[in-house]
Amino acid sequence: MPRMPKKLKKELAFFLNDRERRSYNELCRKCQHECKQSFRAVIIDCPRYLSKRTKRRTPTE
């Protein structure tokens, strides 16, 4: 692992799984945006995630 500050190491450790690989939440894996969350986090609301089951609003609503 390259040299990095303690704060960055702690942040990276939140994303590492048992095999020491970076892993993301199920919703974030296929997401194209940079706001990916760790597999340890519980996602309550993601402003950029749109489920296929939700009803889409029309511009007039």
Each residue's pLDDT tens digit, 28-57 = 777 777 777 888 888 777 777 766 676 666
Q: Please provide the distance, in angstroms rounded to a whole number, between the alpha carbons at the two ends of the chain.
A: 51
Whole-model pTM over 0.75? no
Bridge partners, residue 24, by sequence: 38
Q: Whole-angstrom Cα distance, residue 52 to residue 3?
A: 42
Say if residues 24 and 37 touch (Cβ distance below 8 Å): yes
Beta-carbon contacts of 26 under 8 Å, excluding residues fewer than 6 positions away, are 39
Bridge partners, residue 22, by sequence: 16
